[in-house]
Structure 1
Amino acid sequence: MSNERTRPDPTGPAPARPGDDPDQTLLDLIRDGDEQAYGVLLDRHLERIHALAQRMLGNAADAEEVAQDAFLRAWQQIPNWQPGTAKFSTWLHRVAMNLCHDALRRRRDSRPVEDIQPVSGEPGPEQLARRQDRSGRVQAALATLPERQREALVLSHYQELSQREAAAVLEISEEALESLLARGRRALRAALAEELEDLQGKGDGHRHGI
Protein backbone atom coordinates (compact mmCIF):
# COMPACT_ATOMS: atom_id res chain seq x y z
CA MET A 1 0.00 0.00 0.00
CA SER A 2 1.27 3.44 -0.87
CA ASN A 3 2.08 5.65 2.10
CA GLU A 4 1.23 8.96 0.46
CA ARG A 5 1.87 12.01 2.59
CA THR A 6 0.76 15.56 1.89
CA ARG A 7 3.11 18.37 2.85
CA PRO A 8 1.81 20.16 5.96
CA ASP A 9 0.47 23.66 5.52
CA PRO A 10 3.42 25.93 6.44
CA THR A 11 1.08 28.33 8.21
CA GLY A 12 -0.48 25.52 10.23
CA PRO A 13 -4.19 25.05 10.93
CA ALA A 14 -6.04 28.09 12.19
CA PRO A 15 -6.23 28.10 16.01
CA ALA A 16 -9.63 27.97 17.63
CA ARG A 17 -10.88 31.10 19.34
CA PRO A 18 -11.54 30.53 23.07
CA GLY A 19 -15.29 30.93 22.65
CA ASP A 20 -15.50 28.51 19.71
CA ASP A 21 -15.02 25.25 21.62
CA PRO A 22 -18.31 23.71 22.84
CA ASP A 23 -16.31 21.47 25.20
CA GLN A 24 -14.53 24.28 27.03
CA THR A 25 -16.98 24.42 29.95
CA LEU A 26 -16.59 20.68 30.50
CA LEU A 27 -12.81 20.96 30.30
CA ASP A 28 -12.85 23.69 32.94
CA LEU A 29 -15.01 21.54 35.22
CA ILE A 30 -12.74 18.52 34.74
CA ARG A 31 -9.70 20.60 35.65
CA ASP A 32 -11.53 21.51 38.85
CA GLY A 33 -11.91 17.81 39.68
CA ASP A 34 -15.46 17.20 38.41
CA GLU A 35 -15.43 13.51 37.40
CA GLN A 36 -19.05 13.67 36.26
CA ALA A 37 -18.04 16.26 33.65
CA TYR A 38 -15.48 13.80 32.30
CA GLY A 39 -18.27 11.23 31.95
CA VAL A 40 -20.27 13.74 29.91
CA LEU A 41 -17.23 14.43 27.71
CA LEU A 42 -16.74 10.69 27.22
CA ASP A 43 -20.37 10.18 26.23
CA ARG A 44 -20.14 13.09 23.81
CA HIS A 45 -17.11 11.86 21.87
CA LEU A 46 -16.45 8.15 22.49
CA GLU A 47 -18.78 6.80 19.81
CA ARG A 48 -17.33 9.06 17.11
CA ILE A 49 -13.73 8.29 18.03
CA HIS A 50 -14.48 4.57 18.04
CA ALA A 51 -16.13 4.93 14.61
CA LEU A 52 -13.05 6.74 13.29
CA ALA A 53 -10.75 3.97 14.49
CA GLN A 54 -13.10 1.30 13.13
CA ARG A 55 -13.06 2.87 9.68
CA MET A 56 -9.30 3.30 9.69
CA LEU A 57 -8.44 -0.12 11.11
CA GLY A 58 -11.39 -2.33 10.12
CA ASN A 59 -11.11 -4.27 13.36
CA ALA A 60 -13.37 -3.86 16.39
CA ALA A 61 -10.79 -4.90 18.99
CA ASP A 62 -8.13 -2.56 17.59
CA ALA A 63 -10.66 0.27 17.36
CA GLU A 64 -11.65 -0.23 20.99
CA GLU A 65 -8.01 -0.06 22.05
CA VAL A 66 -7.42 3.14 20.08
CA ALA A 67 -10.52 4.79 21.56
CA GLN A 68 -9.47 3.87 25.10
CA ASP A 69 -5.92 5.11 24.55
CA ALA A 70 -7.17 8.37 23.04
CA PHE A 71 -9.31 9.14 26.08
CA LEU A 72 -6.53 8.14 28.44
CA ARG A 73 -4.31 10.70 26.74
CA ALA A 74 -7.13 13.23 26.92
CA TRP A 75 -7.45 12.65 30.68
CA GLN A 76 -3.71 13.22 31.05
CA GLN A 77 -3.73 16.33 28.85
CA ILE A 78 -6.78 18.15 30.20
CA PRO A 79 -5.03 19.62 33.30
CA ASN A 80 -2.62 21.40 30.94
CA TRP A 81 -5.18 22.29 28.26
CA GLN A 82 -4.79 25.81 26.89
CA PRO A 83 -8.04 27.33 25.55
CA GLY A 84 -7.73 28.67 22.02
CA THR A 85 -4.96 26.35 20.84
CA ALA A 86 -7.44 24.04 19.07
CA LYS A 87 -10.93 22.70 19.53
CA PHE A 88 -10.84 19.73 21.88
CA SER A 89 -12.70 17.53 19.37
CA THR A 90 -10.16 18.39 16.66
CA TRP A 91 -7.27 17.58 18.98
CA LEU A 92 -8.94 14.30 20.03
CA HIS A 93 -9.42 13.25 16.40
CA ARG A 94 -5.76 14.01 15.74
CA VAL A 95 -4.68 11.89 18.72
CA ALA A 96 -6.89 9.01 17.58
CA MET A 97 -5.59 9.28 14.01
CA ASN A 98 -1.99 9.12 15.24
CA LEU A 99 -2.84 6.05 17.31
CA CYS A 100 -4.36 4.49 14.18
CA HIS A 101 -1.10 5.23 12.34
CA ASP A 102 0.79 3.37 15.05
CA ALA A 103 -1.58 0.40 14.87
CA LEU A 104 -1.36 0.23 11.07
CA ARG A 105 2.42 0.45 11.21
CA ARG A 106 2.55 -2.50 13.60
CA ARG A 107 0.07 -4.41 11.47
CA ARG A 108 2.09 -3.98 8.26
CA ASP A 109 4.94 -5.91 9.84
CA SER A 110 2.83 -8.89 10.79
CA ARG A 111 -0.49 -8.92 8.97
CA PRO A 112 -1.57 -8.54 5.32
CA VAL A 113 -4.25 -6.02 4.38
CA GLU A 114 -6.51 -8.87 3.25
CA ASP A 115 -6.90 -9.92 6.89
CA ILE A 116 -8.59 -6.65 7.88
CA GLN A 117 -12.09 -7.41 9.10
CA PRO A 118 -14.84 -5.54 7.25
CA VAL A 119 -17.05 -3.19 9.19
CA SER A 120 -20.49 -4.70 9.44
CA GLY A 121 -23.61 -2.65 8.90
CA GLU A 122 -26.22 -2.08 11.56
CA PRO A 123 -27.99 -5.40 12.20
CA GLY A 124 -31.47 -5.63 10.76
CA PRO A 125 -33.78 -8.64 10.48
CA GLU A 126 -34.18 -8.37 6.69
CA GLN A 127 -31.17 -6.48 5.35
CA LEU A 128 -28.32 -7.64 7.58
CA ALA A 129 -26.56 -9.76 4.94
CA ARG A 130 -26.90 -7.08 2.26
CA ARG A 131 -25.64 -4.32 4.54
CA GLN A 132 -22.71 -6.40 5.74
CA ASP A 133 -21.76 -7.21 2.17
CA ARG A 134 -21.95 -3.59 1.01
CA SER A 135 -20.16 -2.24 4.08
CA GLY A 136 -17.49 -4.90 3.76
CA ARG A 137 -16.85 -3.99 0.12
CA VAL A 138 -16.51 -0.29 0.95
CA GLN A 139 -14.20 -1.04 3.89
CA ALA A 140 -12.05 -3.31 1.74
CA ALA A 141 -11.86 -0.63 -0.96
CA LEU A 142 -10.95 2.03 1.62
CA ALA A 143 -8.14 -0.20 2.86
CA THR A 144 -6.53 -0.15 -0.60
CA LEU A 145 -6.28 3.66 -0.73
CA PRO A 146 -3.14 5.60 0.14
CA GLU A 147 -3.22 6.38 3.83
CA ARG A 148 -3.75 10.14 3.54
CA GLN A 149 -6.58 9.76 1.03
CA ARG A 150 -8.29 7.28 3.35
CA GLU A 151 -7.87 9.63 6.30
CA ALA A 152 -9.37 12.55 4.38
CA LEU A 153 -12.39 10.51 3.27
CA VAL A 154 -13.02 9.07 6.73
CA LEU A 155 -12.80 12.44 8.46
CA SER A 156 -14.92 14.32 5.92
CA HIS A 157 -17.55 11.73 5.02
CA TYR A 158 -17.85 9.34 7.94
CA GLN A 159 -16.87 11.64 10.81
CA GLU A 160 -18.66 14.54 9.10
CA LEU A 161 -16.03 17.08 10.09
CA SER A 162 -16.02 20.41 8.33
CA GLN A 163 -13.22 21.03 5.84
CA ARG A 164 -11.55 23.33 8.34
CA GLU A 165 -11.73 20.70 11.11
CA ALA A 166 -10.55 17.83 8.89
CA ALA A 167 -7.66 19.93 7.58
CA ALA A 168 -6.71 20.82 11.16
CA VAL A 169 -6.69 17.15 12.19
CA LEU A 170 -4.39 16.30 9.27
CA GLU A 171 -2.37 19.51 9.78
CA ILE A 172 -2.70 20.55 6.15
CA SER A 173 -4.39 23.40 4.29
CA GLU A 174 -8.00 23.16 3.15
CA GLU A 175 -6.77 23.23 -0.46
CA ALA A 176 -4.57 20.20 0.21
CA LEU A 177 -7.53 18.45 1.84
CA GLU A 178 -9.70 19.10 -1.22
CA SER A 179 -7.00 17.56 -3.40
CA LEU A 180 -6.82 14.47 -1.19
CA LEU A 181 -10.60 14.11 -1.23
CA ALA A 182 -10.82 14.40 -5.02
CA ARG A 183 -8.11 11.77 -5.55
CA GLY A 184 -9.54 9.55 -2.83
CA ARG A 185 -13.04 9.61 -4.31
CA ARG A 186 -11.70 8.71 -7.75
CA ALA A 187 -9.61 5.87 -6.35
CA LEU A 188 -12.49 4.56 -4.24
CA ARG A 189 -14.89 4.57 -7.19
CA ALA A 190 -12.30 2.76 -9.31
CA ALA A 191 -11.69 0.14 -6.62
CA LEU A 192 -15.40 -0.50 -6.14
CA ALA A 193 -16.01 -0.67 -9.90
CA GLU A 194 -13.18 -3.19 -10.31
CA GLU A 195 -14.56 -5.35 -7.51
CA LEU A 196 -18.04 -5.23 -9.03
CA GLU A 197 -16.62 -6.39 -12.37
CA ASP A 198 -14.82 -9.25 -10.60
CA LEU A 199 -18.03 -10.30 -8.87
CA GLN A 200 -19.96 -10.20 -12.13
CA GLY A 201 -17.24 -12.21 -13.83
CA LYS A 202 -17.36 -14.86 -11.13
CA GLY A 203 -21.12 -15.02 -11.46
CA ASP A 204 -20.85 -15.55 -15.21
CA GLY A 205 -18.26 -18.24 -14.61
CA HIS A 206 -20.51 -20.12 -12.22
CA ARG A 207 -23.39 -19.93 -14.66
CA HIS A 208 -21.20 -21.45 -17.36
CA GLY A 209 -19.89 -24.18 -15.09
CA ILE A 210 -16.39 -22.70 -14.66
Structure 2
Amino acid sequence: MPLEQRSDVDQAGLLGRVVAGDRRAAEALTDMIAPRILRFAARMLGDLTEAEDVTQEAMLRLWRMAPDWQDGAAQPSTWVFRVATNLCTDRLRRRKPMVNELPDLPDTAQSQHAQMMQAARAKALENALAHLPERQRQAVILRHLEGLTNPEIAAIMMLGVEAVESLTARGKRNLSAILAGERDALGYDDDQ
Protein backbone atom coordinates (compact mmCIF):
# COMPACT_ATOMS: atom_id res chain seq x y z
CA MET A 1 0.00 0.00 0.00
CA PRO A 2 1.44 3.41 -0.94
CA LEU A 3 2.61 5.56 1.94
CA GLU A 4 0.06 8.34 1.35
CA GLN A 5 -2.91 5.93 1.52
CA ARG A 6 -2.07 4.29 4.85
CA SER A 7 -4.21 5.43 7.77
CA ASP A 8 -1.50 4.69 10.34
CA VAL A 9 1.03 7.06 8.79
CA ASP A 10 2.70 9.33 11.33
CA GLN A 11 2.04 12.73 9.77
CA ALA A 12 4.16 14.50 12.37
CA GLY A 13 7.02 12.14 11.54
CA LEU A 14 6.63 12.91 7.84
CA LEU A 15 6.64 16.60 8.65
CA GLY A 16 9.88 16.12 10.57
CA ARG A 17 11.39 14.41 7.54
CA VAL A 18 10.22 17.36 5.38
CA VAL A 19 12.16 19.71 7.67
CA ALA A 20 15.21 17.47 7.21
CA GLY A 21 14.90 17.92 3.44
CA ASP A 22 13.19 14.65 2.47
CA ARG A 23 11.42 15.44 -0.79
CA ARG A 24 9.50 12.11 -0.84
CA ALA A 25 8.08 12.87 2.61
CA ALA A 26 6.89 16.28 1.39
CA GLU A 27 5.23 14.69 -1.64
CA ALA A 28 3.61 12.00 0.51
CA LEU A 29 2.27 14.52 3.02
CA THR A 30 1.01 16.75 0.22
CA ASP A 31 -0.68 13.82 -1.51
CA MET A 32 -2.27 12.84 1.78
CA ILE A 33 -3.58 16.26 2.83
CA ALA A 34 -4.00 18.54 -0.20
CA PRO A 35 -6.78 16.64 -2.04
CA ARG A 36 -8.93 16.61 1.11
CA ILE A 37 -8.33 20.30 1.70
CA LEU A 38 -9.17 21.06 -1.92
CA ARG A 39 -12.50 19.18 -1.70
CA PHE A 40 -13.32 20.91 1.58
CA ALA A 41 -12.49 24.39 0.29
CA ALA A 42 -14.36 23.82 -2.98
CA ARG A 43 -17.48 22.90 -1.02
CA MET A 44 -17.08 25.85 1.31
CA LEU A 45 -16.45 28.42 -1.40
CA GLY A 46 -18.31 26.97 -4.36
CA ASP A 47 -15.41 27.96 -6.57
CA LEU A 48 -12.64 25.57 -7.59
CA THR A 49 -10.15 28.31 -8.45
CA GLU A 50 -10.52 29.90 -5.04
CA ALA A 51 -10.35 26.47 -3.43
CA GLU A 52 -7.05 25.80 -5.20
CA ASP A 53 -5.70 29.11 -3.87
CA VAL A 54 -6.80 28.23 -0.33
CA THR A 55 -5.24 24.77 -0.58
CA GLN A 56 -1.95 26.18 -1.82
CA GLU A 57 -1.86 28.85 0.90
CA ALA A 58 -2.71 26.35 3.64
CA MET A 59 0.00 23.95 2.51
CA LEU A 60 2.56 26.80 2.26
CA ARG A 61 1.75 27.77 5.83
CA LEU A 62 2.31 24.18 6.90
CA TRP A 63 5.74 24.13 5.25
CA ARG A 64 6.65 27.47 6.85
CA MET A 65 5.71 26.36 10.34
CA ALA A 66 7.13 22.84 9.96
CA PRO A 67 10.42 23.63 11.75
CA ASP A 68 8.43 24.76 14.80
CA TRP A 69 6.09 21.75 14.87
CA GLN A 70 5.80 20.27 18.32
CA ASP A 71 5.40 16.54 18.80
CA GLY A 72 2.18 15.65 20.55
CA ALA A 73 0.31 18.46 18.85
CA ALA A 74 -2.60 17.76 16.52
CA GLN A 75 -1.96 15.92 13.31
CA PRO A 76 -0.65 18.19 10.55
CA SER A 77 -3.82 17.48 8.52
CA THR A 78 -5.97 18.72 11.42
CA TRP A 79 -3.89 21.89 11.61
CA VAL A 80 -4.14 22.43 7.83
CA PHE A 81 -7.93 21.97 7.93
CA ARG A 82 -8.10 24.67 10.62
CA VAL A 83 -5.98 27.00 8.49
CA ALA A 84 -8.10 26.24 5.41
CA THR A 85 -11.28 26.89 7.39
CA ASN A 86 -9.98 30.30 8.42
CA LEU A 87 -8.88 31.12 4.88
CA CYS A 88 -12.29 30.14 3.51
CA THR A 89 -14.06 32.18 6.18
CA ASP A 90 -11.94 35.21 5.31
CA ARG A 91 -12.78 34.85 1.63
CA LEU A 92 -16.48 34.44 2.32
CA ARG A 93 -16.47 37.55 4.51
CA ARG A 94 -14.74 39.55 1.79
CA ARG A 95 -17.49 38.56 -0.61
CA LYS A 96 -20.08 40.22 1.59
CA PRO A 97 -20.34 43.99 1.28
CA MET A 98 -19.00 45.93 4.22
CA VAL A 99 -22.18 48.01 4.50
CA ASN A 100 -25.64 46.69 5.02
CA GLU A 101 -27.28 45.93 1.74
CA LEU A 102 -30.66 47.34 0.96
CA PRO A 103 -33.29 44.65 0.77
CA ASP A 104 -34.35 43.63 -2.70
CA LEU A 105 -37.28 45.79 -3.63
CA PRO A 106 -39.87 44.51 -6.02
CA ASP A 107 -39.40 45.75 -9.55
CA THR A 108 -42.29 48.09 -10.16
CA ALA A 109 -41.51 48.49 -13.82
CA GLN A 110 -43.38 46.00 -15.95
CA SER A 111 -41.50 43.79 -18.29
CA GLN A 112 -41.97 44.25 -22.01
CA HIS A 113 -44.00 41.02 -22.11
CA ALA A 114 -46.26 42.14 -19.25
CA GLN A 115 -46.86 45.49 -20.93
CA MET A 116 -47.75 43.79 -24.21
CA MET A 117 -50.06 41.34 -22.41
CA GLN A 118 -51.78 44.18 -20.57
CA ALA A 119 -52.27 46.10 -23.83
CA ALA A 120 -53.67 42.98 -25.53
CA ARG A 121 -56.08 42.42 -22.65
CA ALA A 122 -57.24 46.04 -22.72
CA LYS A 123 -57.81 45.85 -26.49
CA ALA A 124 -59.73 42.55 -26.17
CA LEU A 125 -61.90 44.00 -23.40
CA GLU A 126 -62.56 47.11 -25.46
CA ASN A 127 -63.62 44.97 -28.43
CA ALA A 128 -65.82 42.74 -26.25
CA LEU A 129 -67.46 45.73 -24.59
CA ALA A 130 -68.32 47.08 -28.03
CA HIS A 131 -70.37 43.93 -28.65
CA LEU A 132 -72.53 44.35 -25.52
CA PRO A 133 -75.90 46.01 -25.65
CA GLU A 134 -75.48 49.70 -24.76
CA ARG A 135 -77.07 49.60 -21.28
CA GLN A 136 -75.13 46.48 -20.26
CA ARG A 137 -71.94 48.09 -21.53
CA GLN A 138 -72.68 51.27 -19.60
CA ALA A 139 -73.46 49.38 -16.34
CA VAL A 140 -70.34 47.20 -16.60
CA ILE A 141 -68.05 50.15 -17.36
CA LEU A 142 -69.43 52.25 -14.51
CA ARG A 143 -69.28 49.38 -12.01
CA HIS A 144 -66.11 47.49 -12.88
CA LEU A 145 -63.94 50.00 -14.68
CA GLU A 146 -64.93 53.21 -12.93
CA GLY A 147 -65.58 51.59 -9.55
CA LEU A 148 -68.93 53.23 -8.83
CA THR A 149 -71.43 51.66 -6.46
CA ASN A 150 -74.75 50.25 -7.65
CA PRO A 151 -76.74 53.15 -6.10
CA GLU A 152 -74.48 55.67 -7.88
CA ILE A 153 -74.96 53.86 -11.19
CA ALA A 154 -78.70 53.68 -10.60
CA ALA A 155 -78.77 57.45 -10.18
CA ILE A 156 -76.69 58.01 -13.33
CA MET A 157 -78.74 55.60 -15.44
CA MET A 158 -82.02 56.61 -13.79
CA LEU A 159 -82.82 53.01 -12.93
CA GLY A 160 -83.45 51.07 -9.76
CA VAL A 161 -80.56 49.37 -8.00
CA GLU A 162 -81.98 45.92 -8.86
CA ALA A 163 -82.05 46.81 -12.55
CA VAL A 164 -78.38 47.92 -12.35
CA GLU A 165 -77.45 44.65 -10.64
CA SER A 166 -79.25 42.70 -13.38
CA LEU A 167 -77.62 44.70 -16.19
CA THR A 168 -74.18 44.30 -14.62
CA ALA A 169 -74.61 40.54 -14.11
CA ARG A 170 -75.82 39.97 -17.68
CA GLY A 171 -73.06 42.18 -19.05
CA LYS A 172 -70.38 40.17 -17.20
CA ARG A 173 -71.83 36.86 -18.46
CA ASN A 174 -71.88 38.19 -22.02
CA LEU A 175 -68.29 39.48 -21.71
CA SER A 176 -67.17 36.06 -20.45
CA ALA A 177 -68.86 34.38 -23.40
CA ILE A 178 -67.31 36.82 -25.89
CA LEU A 179 -63.82 36.49 -24.40
CA ALA A 180 -63.98 32.72 -23.77
CA GLY A 181 -62.13 31.85 -26.98
CA GLU A 182 -59.33 34.31 -26.18
CA ARG A 183 -58.49 33.23 -22.58
CA ASP A 184 -55.34 31.34 -23.52
CA ALA A 185 -54.11 34.05 -25.88
CA LEU A 186 -54.64 36.66 -23.16
CA GLY A 187 -52.79 34.61 -20.54
CA TYR A 188 -55.76 33.76 -18.34
CA ASP A 189 -56.10 30.41 -16.62
CA ASP A 190 -59.52 28.82 -16.35
CA ASP A 191 -59.73 29.80 -12.68
CA GLN A 192 -59.11 33.53 -13.26
When normalised by structure 1's length, the TM-score is 0.42
The higher radius of gyration belongs to 2
